[in-house]
Amino acid sequence: MERKFEAVWKGSYVRPATEIVDLDFFDVDNNYDKDDIRRIRALTMNQSVVMDGGDHIVKRLE
């Protein structure tokens, strides 16, 4: 099963949004550093990671 995530950008982001994305979305080309990617990969279903002072939240859906 492919992992899906809900990614929420708010507050300090130029384009606040909520999107459903695959694990492949989280890479250096999209400005995620290695620590962010490691934290996101470690999520289990329904767990979230909060980044950028709470303005970016990633939740694993499946």
**Token output for 57:** 């939240």
Q: Structure pTM?
A: 0.91
Please give the pLDDT value at position 12: 85
pLDDT in tens, the chain (62 residues): 689 999 999 988 888 899 999 999 999 999 999 999 999 999 999 999 999 889 999 999 98
Domain locations along the chain = 4-60
Strands (DSSP E) found in 1-62: 4-9, 17-22, 48-51, 56-60
Please give the pLDDT value at position 1: 66
